[in-house]
Chain A
Amino acid sequence: MELFNAFVVSLQAVWADSGFSAFEAGNGIMILVGLVLLYMAIVKEFEPLLLGPIAFGCILANFPRTGFLEEPGLMQAIHYGIANEIFPPLIFLGIGAMTDFGPLLARPVTLLLGAAAQIGVFVALVGAMLLGFNVQEAGAIGIIGGADGPTAIYLSIQMAPHLLGAIAVAAYSYMSLVPLIQPPVMKLLTTQKEREVTMEQLRPVTKFERVCFPIVAAIIISLLLPPIASLLGCLMLGNLFRESGVMDRLSDTAQNSLCNIVTIFLATGTGMTMNAHDFLVPQTLLIIGLGLVAFIAGTAGGVIFGKIMCRVSGWKINPLIGSAGVSAVPMAARVSQVVGMKSKPGNYLLMHAMGPNVAGVIGTAVAAGTMLAMLK
């Protein structure tokens, strides 16, 4: 009998310490959300490299009593990297090493398209404030319109850390849906004649220009907007690795190994912010809705400014490249190419669209820096 009692007591202790005893309906719902996201990543291949670890992080975050964030360990270290803005600049280092600024340097006027597309950020900000979010939360939600995951995470951590999960999921989900969201807006706002505009070939860009640009841009932007110095500084450092021609090993590491490792940490850590307590609130649905508004408004802003530039340049700029101003490198540029090719077979817009596309990355970071300076 004594043995049986000891067995029962032990069993009760194991049960009391297990996750099942503290498991709530909310945890179950969030694990289901994680499974749906995993399905989208693996079966539908929507941004699988990001959505996969985010989804798994979401599942992990909803196991009760793991003590992930309370006790020192890997999970706490990952959370530290997110909460202290370590991972987004490292991702930017990799993006810089992967990005060719050549099309932007060959036609700097496309910077304006990258600026115009940022209107989506502020349309969403206005919408969020009208829906009752405070100004910091609205700024963090608005940045979804920049279609730039690391910048969205960077800004959310500083202005509305409790909304990080919803903002990151909205940003990455819509980035993967760019080929579905943008074309209808582009077609609605342009005429057949505008979509058929053929652009002149870009001039060759010298190595001198390619090396000077990241150095000078890092100096100017960091002096103007210190809050984003780490983001832009890492972007330009990565690009310098690439363009200098003497740091190939560093460029290779930044583009591949480092970027992949940091992506695992950043995405898993972002998923781990999606616990039921923070995520299962009505605000999440509003954020996802506002993110869609931000994407549509940003696309429209870029295309409308492209139409203006088309007229001003004497029909030398195809307005379709304006939509690429919403960052999402290089997907948004590919969308411009696909819509252009459908309107006029043989009209290759990809390289022309890469100019506003990389300008959008800088523009979103500048918008984030300005909001941090004004609103934090």
Chain B
Amino acid sequence: MSQPVTTNPLIIMLINMTVVFLVLIALGLVINLIHMIDPTRPKEKKQEEAAPAAVAAAEPAPAVEPAADEKGISPEIVAVIAAAIASYGYGVEQIRAIRPIERDGWKNSGRMRLSHRRS
């Protein structure tokens, strides 16, 4: 067994903690580098661009098609629905109307049956 570099416990603690932090920070940088060069990474930029566009374009939506409900739909809800639709790859211009669902169960049941027959 060779001689230890130092026998001062505080120096050992400082050096070791510094090395542990530096190695793990270096690993963190490597992880970020791998993420950056990852050719299979989903294109975040496109999504980021689409989302604000969806939100921006969604705001006038109530003006295009006034809500059927007397109280109307809040701009926040419209923005969320538009962003969700945009995330599926549809353009905001394709949204024609956003209406609250009918409370009448019989009507809804009839609509669902019709849509099933069509499909």
Residues of A within 8 A of B (CB): 104-105, 108-109, 111-112, 114-115, 118-119, 121-123, 125-126, 129-130, 135-136, 138-139, 204, 206-209, 212-213, 216-217, 220-221, 224-225, 359, 362-363, 366-367, 370-371, 374-376
Interface pair A359/B24, CB less than 8 Å apart: yes
Interface pair A216/B30, CB less than 8 Å apart: yes
Interface pair A221/B12, CB less than 8 Å apart: no
Chain B residues with CB below 8 A from A206, complex form:
38, 40-41
**Size band of the interface chain B makes with A:** 20 to 34
Ranked nearest first, the 3 interchain pairs of A and B with the lowest CB-CB distance are: A122-B13, A108-B28, A108-B31
Interface pair A366/B20, CB less than 8 Å apart: yes
A interface majority secondary structure? helix
B10 contacts chain A at the CB level, 8 A cutoff: yes
Minimum CB–CB distance for B14 against chain A, Å: 9
> Which chain B residue lies CB-closest to A225?
B23
Chain A residues with CB below 8 A from B24, complex form:
111-112, 114-115, 359, 362-363, 366
Interface pair B34/A366, CB less than 8 Å apart: no
B80 contacts chain A at the CB level, 8 A cutoff: no
Minimum CB–CB distance for A372 against chain B, Å: 11
If A208-B39, A208-B40, A376-B1 touch, whether A111 touches B12 (CB-CB below 8 Å) is no
> Which chain A residue lies CB-closest to B18?
A370
Question: Using a CB-CB cutoff of 8 Å, which residues 12-63 of chain B contact chain A?
Answer: 12-13, 15-17, 19-21, 23-28, 30-32, 34-35, 38-42
Chain A residues with CB below 8 A from B21, complex form:
112, 115
Candidates B6, B9, B28, B35; contact of A111 at CB < 8 Å: B28
If A206-B41, A374-B6 touch, whether A220 touches B27 (CB-CB below 8 Å) is yes
Q: Specify which of B1, B28, B31, B39 lies most central, judged by the most chain A CB atoms within 10 Å of its CB.
A: B31
Candidates A105, A114, A126, A362; contact of B10 at CB < 8 Å: A126
Chain B residues with CB below 8 A from A109, complex form:
28
Interface pair A374/B23, CB less than 8 Å apart: no
B112 contacts chain A at the CB level, 8 A cutoff: no
Interface pair A118/B17, CB less than 8 Å apart: yes
Minimum CB–CB distance for A218 against chain B, Å: 11
Q: A213-B34, A370-B15 are in contact. List 18 more A-B contacts (CB 8 A).
A: A105-B31, A112-B24, A112-B25, A115-B17, A125-B9, A126-B9, A126-B13, A129-B9, A135-B7, A136-B4, A139-B12, A206-B40, A220-B27, A220-B30, A224-B23, A363-B20, A375-B12, A376-B1
Chain B residues with CB below 8 A from A359, complex form:
24
Chain A residues with CB below 8 A from B114, complex form:
none
A9 to B115, CA, bound (A): 101
Chain A residues with CB below 8 A from B35, complex form:
105, 209
Interface pair A374/B12, CB less than 8 Å apart: yes
21 contacts between A and B (CB under 8 A): A104-B31, A105-B34, A108-B31, A109-B28, A115-B25, A118-B16, A118-B20, A123-B13, A126-B9, A204-B42, A208-B34, A208-B41, A209-B35, A216-B34, A363-B24, A366-B23, A366-B24, A371-B16, A374-B12, A374-B15, A374-B16
Chain A residues with CB below 8 A from B10, complex form:
126
Chain B residues with CB below 8 A from A118, complex form:
16-17, 20
A109 to B27, CA, bound (A): 10
A207 to B7, CA, bound (A): 45
Candidates A115, A129, A213, A376; contact of B2 at CB < 8 Å: A376
Chain B residues with CB below 8 A from A225, complex form:
23
Interface pair B16/A217, CB less than 8 Å apart: no
Interface pair B30/A115, CB less than 8 Å apart: no
Chain A residues with CB below 8 A from B101, complex form:
none
Chain B residues with CB below 8 A from A375, complex form:
4-5, 12
A220 to B28, CA, bound (A): 12
